[in-house]
Structure 1
């Protein structure tokens, strides 16, 4: 290892392996899993509880947006419907029919909705949890899968309680939480997450994310974090750390040089992987135009979109395809050359023949550039950052 480029040595250490060959083999597997590992989330509960709105909020969509799950005061979900995450297609969220509806009786519900499809269940209600919810949780537990109780439409409760004398928001939230838990006491002491699909930055949406991260396997955890909406400064920082941690794998996977163990790893470099990694980062940080438009409207600051003008944001936005796709077709020659032109000393070098060190430098610079842009935007939007 002593004769190798310092950047290579550092990347081998980051991989946790002892040799270049082992690090490269591991990197290819890790990168493929990072991009393609599937995650299937089931959202179920009583008809009218707000399942479809939750599905839309998780996917970064408003209820009225094209491709959003249909919502309404009557039952709109008559069978399990899969919604692909618009930015991370390997993540899928399923809007399941309401428990106890005419076509889906509680006793046969899990079989009817194809239980084995899902990694975990969100059991959601807008009022109290009922017998059907408890029965479902018991059946899920028997089959050794995870479930999480979510109380939705908290913003409606807060709005109505505000009109009362002596209003105390924290007291109201505590009363709602205790009432939900009281109805679930036969299940032990399950946590109940209070959320508003209209305002993910408030209440327990981030706490739900933290619990899911703690309990999911590592690969599923990375998939979840990539797709999860940026609901706080802490959430954004987690995403940044994750992408920084993965730069070694993207670098080795891009170099593709298992048969060329030479100092510097100068070889034909697959810039498709580099561009795919950075575009995935761009979407995970909610730097795409739809996410920024939604944020700017929410905080009434139209100028937020104008802050997304860094060199890598510009490269992605102007050169990449308009809709995210997990495909190396995303890495057009124009995009690759644009990225390379951002590196001092490389200029408009051809995609082939750049060194491993250059590849890693490009990835590190890209992640830092996108991260700093996202931080500036979120800070301007009113998110507090603690470093």
Structure 2
């Protein structure tokens, strides 16, 4: 493994760690690292979902949260009732990520004026999604201009594309072209925006029930980019693997987390919290903090949608079986098909993959931390082993997650 494949302690992180140790002592470094690794859980994000009645707001809120209308906390769909007050929906993985179903503007209760913006607590939201299932209305356009005027981001989202495709296919028969229909819908929307003198004329065409299709991935990419760094990390780690774009972002963030967890393992090794793992061929064994590695593998499985619950939800949503998706798995297959314990999984991977070169490379990186936390006996070996294991697990789980998405696209395409 090349030296540059290892994550680095940034100068800012080293300085923060030094300040923390100066204030709390060396024993406090464990809390510091845990806080840094998990700070994303406490970053508040509020996303405003707005549009006229029955355009798919509730379905979208459920879709992005990986729940259905029948689940606890699911948004009711299909009623056609107008939202009369802002209604919050927490993400089940992170209650700090909130999607707000907002009342539409331009009604007797909510006319187009400053009072409407005050009534929805405008400044609360990080950005807005304006949804429509046809042409965007004059009320939608007014809201977009007001949002832009006040320096916030908004995104136009054209919902129910699956229904539009089905209708066009029935009308055109053998002349039907999905790409031509999509281009026409986008052009119609953009012409509408230009007529209203909107400078941002982008629109994302999605289906709330077939998010693998059309422009859901492009939408997610823009939502992620719209947030500052800490909120971006929180959003990516809070939502499920809803697109390939999100999966790629998860991988980047999880890799940045590796050095923190590997350092925690090194500190555990120095303190005697060891679980020895002999290497293949009788090589000298390594010692790791097994609890940290098991916790990370569980975390990764959930992040990449490879745990039992996530695979079942995906199978139900795409009208197929869990076995259909299990066939796509390689690295994680033993955890699903063979019901291998995570502890055995960790042991097996480390036995096969740990090398002295990995340990040496990692030890050189860890030495930067020693002036801050003091001498770490045997820490370099533990750090290197954990780092290599976690990096390999992320890489392989990402590949499995992308294979599952491809399988979902194939399954969805066969039904449309």
Q: 1:203 aligns with which of 214, 220, 237?
A: 214
> Structure 1 residues 372, 296: closer, same or farther in 2, change over 3 A?
same
- Structure showing greater Rg: 2
Which residue of structure 2 lines up, in the alignment, with residue 356 of structure 1? 383
> Structure 1 residues 29, 190: closer, same or farther in 2, change over 3 A?
farther
CA RMSD of aligned residues (A): 3.8
Q: 2:56 aligns with which of 25, 40, 50?
A: 50
Which residue of structure 2 lines up, in the alignment, with residue 14 of structure 1? 8
Which residue of structure 2 lines up, in the alignment, with residue 176 of structure 1? 185
CA separation in 2, counterparts of 1:59 and 1:35?
16
Q: Is 1:283 aligned with 2:302?
A: yes
The TM-score, its normalising length taken from structure 1, stands at 0.75
Mapping 1:17-36, distance limit 5 Å:
17=11, 30-36=36-42
Q: 2:394 aligns with which of 345, 355, 367?
A: 367
Which residue of structure 2 lines up, in the alignment, with residue 153 of structure 1? 160
CA separation in 1, counterparts of 2:127 and 2:266?
35
Whether the aligned pair in 1 keeps the contact of 2:157 and 2:203 (CA below 8 Å) is yes
The TM-score, its normalising length taken from structure 2, stands at 0.70
Mapping 1:24-103, distance limit 5 Å:
30-75=36-81, 77-103=83-109
Q: 2:143 aligns with which of 136, 142, 146?
A: 136
Which residue of structure 1 lines up, in the alignment, with residue 323 of structure 2? 303
> Structure 1 residues 380, 124: closer, same or farther in 2, change over 3 A?
closer
> Structure 1 residues 383, 163: closer, same or farther in 2, change over 3 A?
closer
Shift of 1:191: 0.6
Whether the aligned pair in 2 keeps the contact of 1:289 and 1:305 (CA below 8 Å) is no
Whether the aligned pair in 1 keeps the contact of 2:212 and 2:409 (CA below 8 Å) is no
CA separation in 2, counterparts of 1:274 and 1:40?
32
Shift of 1:71: 1.2
CA separation in 1, counterparts of 2:383 and 2:216?
40
CA separation in 1, counterparts of 2:70 and 2:111?
30
CA separation in 2, counterparts of 1:77 and 1:288?
35
> Structure 1 residues 67, 313: closer, same or farther in 2, change over 3 A?
farther
Shift of 1:74: 2.1
Whether the aligned pair in 2 keeps the contact of 1:40 and 1:117 (CA below 8 Å) is yes
Shift of 1:375: 4.0
CA shift digits 1:217-270 (9 cap, x unpaired)? 122222222244434445433322331232123334x3596xx9xxx8556698
Q: 2:229 aligns with which of 198, 203, 218?
A: 218
Q: Which runs of 5+ in 1 are unaligned?
A: 1-5, 320-334, 346-352
Which residue of structure 1 lines up, in the alignment, with residue 357 of structure 2? none
CA separation in 2, counterparts of 1:22 and 1:77?
46
Q: Which runs of 5+ in 2 are unaligned?
A: 21-31, 274-287, 352-377, 412-416
Shift of 1:44: 0.8
Aligned length: 349
CA separation in 2, counterparts of 1:110 and 1:276?
44
CA shift digits 1:22-45 (9 cap, x unpaired)? 567685564233333222211111
CA shift digits 1:294-343 (9 cap, x unpaired)? 3324163441354569388569x998xxxxxxxxxxxxxxx8x6776556
> Structure 1 residues 338, 109: closer, same or farther in 2, change over 3 A?
farther
Mapping 1:322-361, distance limit 5 Å:
341=347, 344=350, 355-361=382-388
Shift of 1:168: 2.3
Which residue of structure 1 lines up, in the alignment, with residue 122 of structure 2? 115
Deviates more, 1:65-74 or 1:18-27: 18-27
> Structure 1 residues 275, 44: closer, same or farther in 2, change over 3 A?
farther
Shift of 1:57: 0.5
